[in-house]
Every structure is written in C-alpha cells, then in structure tokens.
Amino acid sequence: MEHRAPLRLAVAILVAILVAILVVLPPPARAVVGPWIRPVDGVVVRPFVAPVARYGAGHRGADLAAPPGTPIRAANEGVVAFAGSVAGSLHVVIAHSGGLRTSYSFLLRVDVRRGDGVTRGQVLGATGGSGNEHGPEVLHFGLRVGDRYVDPMALFAPADLSRLIRLAPVASSAQEGFDPPALEQRALAASLHLPAAPLLGGDSDGAGSEWSLLAGVASGMVGGAADLVVPAGRAGWRLLRGTPLGAAADDTLSVSRRLIAWARSRAECSADTAAGPDGGGSGHALLAVGGVNSSTDRATGSTFGLDWRSLGYRDDEVHWFSYAAGGGPYRVRDTWGDLLLQALALREQLRERQRAEPGREVDLVAHSQGGVVVGAFLQLVYDPGDPTLPPLGNVVTLASPHQGAPIATVTRWLRSTAEGRAALRAIRDLSGDTVPPADSPAVRQLAEASPLLRSLWDHRLPDHVDVTTIGGTDDLIVPADHTGVPGATEVTVNPRGLGDHAGIVADERAMAAVRLTIEQRPPPCVGWLDGIRGAVQPVIVSRLEHTAGRLADRASRLARSLDRNPTLEGHGGSR
C-alpha cells in the first residue's frame, strides 16, 4: 500500500488547486436583457471622442439635444449606482449586468435613488441642469465598460455587445453590480473634469475577496446552499490560519490566482515590443520616484538608474522626485522617513510641474519604496479636481512592495527582542550604516501588517488613472506576489541576471513593459516557462522568507528565555 502514498498526495494537491481555481473564478457575466433605447430622442450634437492617450483629454460621452425639462429614460434595466450631486450638478449612474454602467449628467431633477432597481425606459429625471459647458439644452450620456469609457452610441448599433461585456473587469462584474457613491462621484468628476473631494477613506468595493467570489460560484452551482457553505468555509479557513496546512492552502490559492491572471493576459498582449515611430513614448513629462536608499547624483541629477531614454523621453522631459525637505538634492538618509509625508511632498513637486508647464501631462514611474509613496499619494492625497495639479498620464511602479515587503516584516519581528535588535545593529554595522534603521518610519510602514498598507487599498484607485505594476520573477527583496494593486494591470517579467530588484530599472525586458504601458499598448506576451515561473517562484520566495523570519524570531526569543532562566539550558540538555 505504501506505493500509493505519492499518488494520493498528488491527487490531494490537484484537488486543492482545482478548488482554488473555483474560488478565484467569478460566475459568468449575464447579458443585458432586451434592446437598448436612447435616453432622449434628440440628435448627437457632440460625439464621443476617445483621448489620444487612454486617460488624456477627450470627450468621454455623447451630448444629445434635449430641451430643458425633457424626461430622461433608462437605456436598459439595472440598479441605480449613484444619484445625486457632483460639484453642484445632478447626475445618475445605472449599473447594468455584464459590468456596464450608463451615466446621465447635468440634470434639472433626479427621480430615483441609489439602490433602486429600474426598468428599460423608466424615467430617471429631466434635462436642463447647470454645469454643462454646452448649456442646459443637451444631455451628456456616458458608457463605462468596467473602468473604461467608450462610445455610448455603440449601444444602439446592431453590433454584438458581448465583446463590450468581455472588456469589463471580472471583479466588478462578479460583485453586487455597483460601487459606493464616492467612487461613482470620482469617476464622474474625472470624466467630466469636475472638481471632486479626495477619497480619504471609507468603503471598499469588495473586489478581491475570495469568499465573495466563492459565494458567487456556489450560488451558480447549488443556489441557496451557498448560504451554508460560505460561513462554514470562513470558519474552517480561520481555524487553518497559522498552521502548515493553512499556509499551504494560502500559497496554493496565490499560485492559482497568478496562473489564471497570466493565462488571461495572453488573450491580449503585445508580441512585438519594439518602440513605436521616433522611439515611441507618451509625449508626456516624466517624474521618476526612487526607492529606499536612493540619492541624488550630483553630476546628473538622477536619483536611480532608470533607463528613461529607452522609454522615449527627451532630456528636458525627465524630472526626479526629491525626498529632501523642501526639495533639491537628497541623501540616502532622507529616504528613511515617513512615507505619508513624502506623499504630500510628491503633491507639491507635481504642483511645481504644473506651474512650469501648465496642462502638461505627467507620467509617474517609481521604483521600490517610491511606488508606495505614489500609492499613498493617489489614495490619500490626490484630488482629481485640484487645478493646481497637472493631469496625470501613466503610473508605473517597478518592484514596489504595495502589499508589503517580507524583509520589512521580518525586521519588525526581530525588533521585538533585545537579541533581534542586536542582530539588526550588527547587520547595519557591517553594511556601513547603509541599511535603514529597523525602527525608521519607512521600514515600519513597509511591513506587511503596517497600518498604512492595511488601509491603503481599502478603496479603488482613481478611475481615470492608469496604473501598471511590474515585478521581477527572481526578486528576493520584494517578491512579485507582493507588487500588485487592486484595479491595476499587473505584469511579471524575468530580468536578466540575479539582481532583479535593483536591475529591473534598466533591464530591457522590464523597460519594454514600461514603454508599452506608456504607449497605451497591451503588456508584453509572456511564454509558458516564464509564465509558470512568474506564478510559482515569487510565492515560494515569500514563504521561505516568512519561514526564515519566524525561525529567527523564535531563536531570539529562546535565547532571551535561556538568559533569564539559565537552568532551562541544563534541563533541556539532560532530556
């Protein structure tokens, strides 16, 4: 019977992977029932105009002629996701199945409330409100597919809408169907260039919860049984947490998610990664944000080794973020401070770019810790309606610990004992004080369970900001499974050599991925070998680092116990 043990183990692993895949796969998007109808009968007086860059200037909707007081009809059945005022103008947003959202803007009155179910043709309000640059005699009608604005008049063409539905992110189509009001306010403000308050906290849209997705799958398979299965699953999962079996289940789930994301990415990717005409690029200005232990090169003014020329930027388009108080050249020690204060500094330095070149779009490219600074800026500081800020173009982070850095977590564990602190001091002494102090604000904030990182992704990224995160397969400092951001495009590349964390900023594969992003092209195609390695290896690296950290923490605690109770050593040896 012993020869069957390996077979049973293999079957158990296979079953675990299949269960994990079921957890992360959402239920299929349902097609909208019935034909779409125009919200008003008037002609199009200003059509949809796609921006040259995905989030650049453009007209994200169609203006339809409608005398003031004209009743506005729902284009199809759905749920009211938002109904109210943004910057003094009235708007309604309806969430339809399949991840589609229609918006009706600059209304005289609103006749529905958030959460109402509406039928096709139901009156939502009336035209003639204030705030429309073209006056009260038009209705601004918009269509979002997931987070992307597209031409709403496509709804009334004979084309198959299933292609539009497939463009919607699976998380949004798998959830309840509408966002909290603040998120809809932000989307409307971004698309219509209206002022809106920054989203400083509040609700999450729930995307990414494996148990919410499991509920969706279970309800599709066994209907009401999900009400019993999901609570039991939650309880069982809590019991497994902290055990070897629970760690294995977590890792299996992470690997499965990454494999599925890689497989999906192959449906739309760039096989040709060569630069576009005249070297490609975005035509925007660049503000590059370095990471921990970066510093200003007095000769060049650069702060880290980003190969910006390969990205298509000109010399006069490249600017470097400064960690120094008041800006200017900075030293390594300046990068060890509070990252929230650096997010505020980033806002001020962007304002400098707006004063120097009003209206010029700015791309943000950040490395390592710099990506967390950018994330804190976008989530906690950025106000899309602030006229003192320049329009944001592309945001790309390289090897940034958006989900925390395991090495910072290990440092936090070691800092809790005198023996661990002594070991950390010895490491700093050997490195010539180039390693950040274990108790520095930056190290504390980069730990996986830090208050900053626990709350940073509680709500979605700004809807009009295109964020791409890029991680390295062999990165031992920030494993690629820690670089993702909810709502962002996640890419894993395999830089040449072993030093992925530092080398990613100049590696040709990574720079090709950055250039494709800023040129609004799909990410590079990743082959089978690199795809599987990129899914599995970072998860293994993270687990090994956590295990090593736990062992070191326990060893230091044991040493402290022996120091306090020397007799334990003798008892332990006699056994």
> Which domains does the chain possess?
44-192 (2.70.70.10), 277-403+453-546 (3.40.50.1820)
436: Cβ contacts below 8 Å, ≥ 6 apart: 292, 293, 335, 336, 442, 443
Task: State the average pLDDT over residues 235-252.
Answer: 63
Report CA 17 to chain centroid distance, whole Å.
25
Q: What is the pLDDT of residues 511-534, one digit of tens each?
A: 999 999 888 888 888 888 888 888
DSSP states of 289-327: E--TT----TTT--SS---GGGGT--GGGEEE---STTS
Distance CA 459, CA 181 (A): 12
Question: How much is the pLDDT for 2?
Answer: 46
CA 91 vs CA 95, 150, 197, 550: distances in Å: 13, 18, 16, 53
What is the identity of the amino acid at 19?
A: V
CA 311 vs CA 142, 196, 281, 369, 535: distances in Å: 33, 32, 6, 21, 26
Half-sphere exposure of 132 (CA within 13 A, CB side): 28
487: Cβ contacts below 8 Å, ≥ 6 apart: 147, 169, 207, 460, 461, 467
CA 136 vs CA 68, 95, 239, 451, 540: distances in Å: 6, 25, 60, 47, 59
Q: What is the pLDDT of residues 344-355, one digit of tens each?
A: 999 999 999 999
Examine the pLDDT at 95 and tell me if it is beyond 70: yes
Question: How much is the pLDDT for 461?
Answer: 82
- How many other C-beta atoms are found inside a 10 Å radius of the C-beta of residue 178? 22
Question: How much is the pLDDT for 188?
Answer: 66
Question: How much is the pLDDT for 547?
Answer: 76
Q: What is the pLDDT of residues 356-414, one digit of tens each?
A: 999 999 999 999 999 999 999 998 889 888 899 999 999 999 999 998 888 777 777 66
Question: How much is the pLDDT for 54?
Answer: 47
pLDDT-wise least confident of 51-55, 199-203, 410-414, 416-420: 199-203
Predicted confidence band at 102 (pLDDT cuts at 50, 70, 90)?
very high
Distance CA 229, CA 234 (A): 9
Predicted confidence band at 499 (pLDDT cuts at 50, 70, 90)?
confident
How much of the chain exceeds pLDDT 70, in percent?
65
DSSP helix/strand/coil, 103: strand
Q: Give φ, ψ of 9 to 5 degrees.
A: -60, -45
Examine the pLDDT at 319 and tell me if it is beyond 90: yes
3-state secondary structure 355-384: HHCCCCCEEEEEECHHHHHHHHHHHHHCCC
- How many other C-beta atoms are found inside a 10 Å radius of the C-beta of residue 171? 20
Distance CA 525, CA 338 (A): 37
Question: In b/e form, how buried is each residue of 116-152, taking b as 16+ CB within 10 angstroms?
Answer: eebebebebbbbbbebbeeebbbbbbbbbbbbbbbbb
Examine the pLDDT at 342 and tell me if it is beyond 70: yes
Residue whose pair of structure tokens reads 């169907």 in the numeric block:
177
Examine the pLDDT at 245 and tell me if it is beyond 80: no
Query: In terms of Cα–Cα distance, which of 203, 171, 236, 270 is closest to 521?
Result: 270
Distance CA 190, CA 199 (A): 13
Q: What is the pLDDT of residues 16-50, one digit of tens each?
A: 443 343 333 333 334 445 689 999 998 888 888 77
- How many other C-beta atoms are found inside a 10 Å radius of the C-beta of residue 160? 9
Q: What is the pLDDT of residues 436-456, one digit of tens each?
A: 777 788 988 998 878 888 888
**If you average pLDDT over each of 40-49, 265-274, 425-434, which comes out highest?**
40-49
Question: How much is the pLDDT for 514?
Answer: 93
Question: How much is the pLDDT for 560?
Answer: 60
Distance CA 136, CA 105 (A): 11
Pairing of strands 71-73, 78-86: unpaired
Q: Give φ, ψ of 257 to 5 degrees.
A: -60, -45
Tokens at residue 2, please? 């012993």
Predicted confidence band at 203 (pLDDT cuts at 50, 70, 90)?
very low
Report CA 87 to chain centroid distance, whole Å.
26
Residue 142 vs residue 86, higher pLDDT: 142
Q: Give φ, ψ of 299 to 5 degrees.
A: -80, -40
Q: What is the pLDDT of residues 42-89, one digit of tens each?
A: 888 888 877 654 444 557 788 899 999 999 999 999 989 888 887 678
Examine the pLDDT at 161 and tell me if it is beyond 70: no
Residue whose pair of structure tokens reads 């950290």 in the numeric block:
549
Task: State the average pLDDT over residues 137-150.
Answer: 83
Q: Angle between the 567-574 and 528-564 helix axes, to the nearest 10 degrees?
A: 120
Question: How much is the pLDDT for 425?
Answer: 67
Residue whose pair of structure tokens reads 């109402």 in the numeric block:
116
Query: What DSSP character marks residue 524?
Result: B
Query: What DSSP character marks residue 32?
Result: P
Distance CA 420, CA 461 (A): 37
